[in-house]
Amino acid sequence: MIKCHLSTLMGMKKMKMVDVATQTGLHRNTVAALYNERAERVEAVAIEKLCELFECKVGDLFEYIPQEGPDA
């Protein structure tokens, strides 16, 4: 599973979804999908814009968490 840390990064900077959308040029639905961890795919340009905004690396924004159990 891929965990998105956008909500954590936004909380650290006290930003709202509309702030992120405005400052990155991303659609609010894209920001909301990442924030709520509903996004099934993310464009590379979106990742780039978010990393630029939060001055972070891709690994700070996304984390791979191996699944355990019979469904893994």
pLDDT, position 69? 72
Q: How many domains does the chain have?
A: 1
- Higher per-residue confidence, 28 vs 72: 28
Of 18, 6, 3, nearest in space to 46 by CA: 6
Of 26, 25, 20, nearest in space to 6 by CA: 20
Tell whether 71 is covered by a domain: no
Q: Mean pLDDT in the chain?
A: 95
Tell whether 69 is covered by a domain: no
pLDDT for 41-68, tens place per residue?
A: 999 999 999 999 999 999 999 999 998 8
Mean pLDDT of the 19-41 span: 97
What does the alpha-carbon distance between residue 46 and residue 36 come to, in Å, rounded to a whole number? 16
Q: Is 63 helix (H, G, I), strand (E, B) or coil?
A: strand
Tell whether 18 is covered by a domain: yes
Question: The CATH number of the domain where 16 resides is what?
Answer: 1.10.260.40
Rounded to two decimals, the pTM is 0.89
- Identify the residue whose tokens are 């993310």: 42
Tell whether 34 is covered by a domain: yes
Q: Let me know: does 32 contact 17? Beta carbons within 8 Å.
A: yes
Res. 71 pLDDT band, cuts 50 70 90? low
Range of the structural domain that residue 25 is part of: 2-64
